[in-house]
Amino acid sequence: MAGALHGIRVLEAGLLIQGPQAAALLADMGADVVKIELPGIGDHSRHIHVAPDDPRSAVYTACNRGKRSACLDLRHERGAEIFKLLAKDADVVISNFKPGTLESWGLGYADLAAVNPRIVCAQGSTFGPLGPDAEREGADLAGQSAGGLISTTGSDGDPPTPVGAFIADHIGSLNMVAGILAALHVRNRTGRGQSIDVSLLGGQIWAQATEYTHFLLTDRVPGRANQGHPLIKAAYGIFETADGWIGIIGVPPQARDAFFVALDRADLALDERLLGIAMDAETLAWFRRQLGAAFKTRTTAEWCRALDDVDVRYAPVRDYRQVADDSGAWLNGYFAQVEDGDGATQRVVGTPIRMSATPLQPGATAPTLGAHTDQVLGEAGVGADAIAALRASNTI
């Protein structure tokens, strides 16, 4: 079945995660994505190996499945000309170089719009295209750091720690996809494309919109998570069990008494300190100590069964192996088994979006460097002799 973006051609000149993962989601949606890579080197993520003796790259594979790879040195005048030739028939161009890089090669939005007024150009950066930090380079950790996220993790008194995932890059990629889809919708009405800018910093601020709004309203920094959330002063957070951890996602009023009974702490139902909607810091600290002691008396599985019976929202704290063993994650397509080009079955991260009429299809493999160069250039009308000359000059 054709995907929602069937017929859309994307040129992706991206590196590492922010741009490439945006393009990967578009590929899952059915777009034809051609990844433009530097000859002989490729995307830097190709060189982040899973182990010293295993040259596979989880970063490259995760962010580049389902694409075609064409080598083209955009710094060469002839390489830039070929890119413009490809852009004539493209719908979207994605990049996440330092702001101004494509413009210096004559490949900025104005340059590409001159040959294709319908083109949508999406650029990702670390700090945004304007301001004193615009030309500074960075990556995920810069977004987490500069965007304030790291200041919220952990507990008071502990050193700050990054999130254990490339979360700033991932959020940046989703913002890029949202902008691209909106621009394509506008193009359907106007016939013209436009430029889109997203950044890791902007994505982190947007992802913490509630917490930043609290600060802007009160001029008070919310503070650290402290195993919960700084703005929620109730039974909300993670607690250690006899064999792991469990998250308690609030206790609705109708479940309050049954919750305390399940904890073997029926006395808490009558405690006046717990009768209000929110607690002061001292009461919250005391309450968390009571919950902490109670949850240590049973295993995580036992607590899951007990909380099911009292209609309290919860979730076990799981590692990647436990999540990958969850049948629901597979049934919903969040993980998938797909066949690669050799007919072998591969386990892959699926797609987070379900569509009834045009389902997303995760790609099985990421392309080898330059695997589709001749094919892509041939589709653009570049002849065999010209391709040979380009290869001889190291342009492709």
With b for 16 or more beta-carbon neighbours within 10 A and e for fewer, the 347-358 pattern comes to: ebebbeeeeeee
- 3-state SS, residue 307: helix
Nearest to 371 by CA among 79, 67, 137, 119: 67
pLDDT greater than 90 at residue 1: no
**CA–CA separation, 15 and 23 (whole Å):** 11
Question: Hey, where are the domains in the chain?
Answer: 9-207+366-392, 236-317
DSSP letter at 51 equals B
**Average per-residue pLDDT for the chain:** 96
Query: Cβ(151)–Cβ(160) under 8 Å?
Result: yes
Q: Class assignment of domain 9-207+366-392?
A: alpha beta
Instruction: Give how far Cα 386 sits from Cα of 325, 383, 391, Å.
Output: 51, 5, 9
pLDDT greater than 90 at residue 3: yes
DSSP letter at 272 equals G
Q: Across the chain, where does the E strand assignment appear?
A: 9-13, 32-37, 68-71, 92-95, 120-125, 195-199, 236-240, 245-249, 314-316, 335-339, 345-349
Residue 373: phi, psi to the nearest 5? -55, -55
Give the pLDDT band (50/70/90) at residue 103. Answer: very high
Q: What residues form DSSP beta bridges with 197?
A: 123
Q: What is the pTM of this model?
A: 0.95
- Looking at CATH, the fold of the domain delimited by 236-317 is given as formyl-coa transferase, domain 3 (3.30.1540)
Cβ atoms within 10 Å, residue 241:
21
Tokens 């945006």 belong to which residue? 22
Query: If you average pLDDT over residues 255-284, what whole number do you get?
Result: 91
pLDDT score for 276:
74
pLDDT greater than 80 at residue 278: no
Tokens of 137: 């380079």
Query: If you average pLDDT over residues 103-120, what whole number do you get?
Result: 98
**CA–CA separation, 92 and 107 (whole Å):** 13
pLDDT greater than 80 at residue 220: yes
Query: Cβ(122)–Cβ(101) under 8 Å?
Result: no
Query: If you average pLDDT over residues 167-194, what whole number do you get?
Result: 98
Query: If you average pLDDT over residues 276-302, what whole number do you get?
Result: 93
Total H helices, total E strands in the chain: 16, 11
Q: Report the percentage of the chain scoring pLDDT > 70.
A: 100
Distant-in-sequence, close-in-space partners of 329: CB < 8 Å, separation ≥ 6: 323, 335
Instruction: Give how far Cα 307 sits from Cα of 153, 236, 282, 314, 320, Å.
Output: 27, 14, 26, 7, 23
Q: What residues form DSSP beta bridges with 103?
A: none
pLDDT score for 342:
82
Query: If you average pLDDT over residues 335-345, what whole number do you get?
Result: 89
Give the pLDDT band (50/70/90) at residue 343. Answer: confident
Tokens of 313: 């929202």
pLDDT score for 364:
84
CA end-to-end distance (rounded Å), the chain? 34
pLDDT score for 279:
86
Give the pLDDT band (50/70/90) at residue 20. Answer: very high
pLDDT score for 184:
98
Q: What residues form DSSP beta bridges with 248?
A: 237, 314
Residue 120: phi, psi to the nearest 5? -110, 120
Q: Give the least confident one: 339-343, 344-348, 376-380.
A: 339-343
Mind listing the pLDDT tens digit for each residue in 221-267? 999 999 999 999 999 999 999 999 999 999 998 999 999 999 999 99
**CA–centroid distance for 361 within its chain:** 17
Q: What residues form DSSP beta bridges with 338?
A: 346
Residue 325: phi, psi to the nearest 5? -90, 0
Long-range contacts at 55-58 (CB < 8 A, ≥ 24 apart): none
Mind listing the pLDDT tens digit for each residue in 22-69? 999 999 999 999 999 999 999 999 999 999 999 999 999 999 999 999
Give the pLDDT band (50/70/90) at residue 185. Answer: very high
pLDDT greater than 80 at residue 349: yes
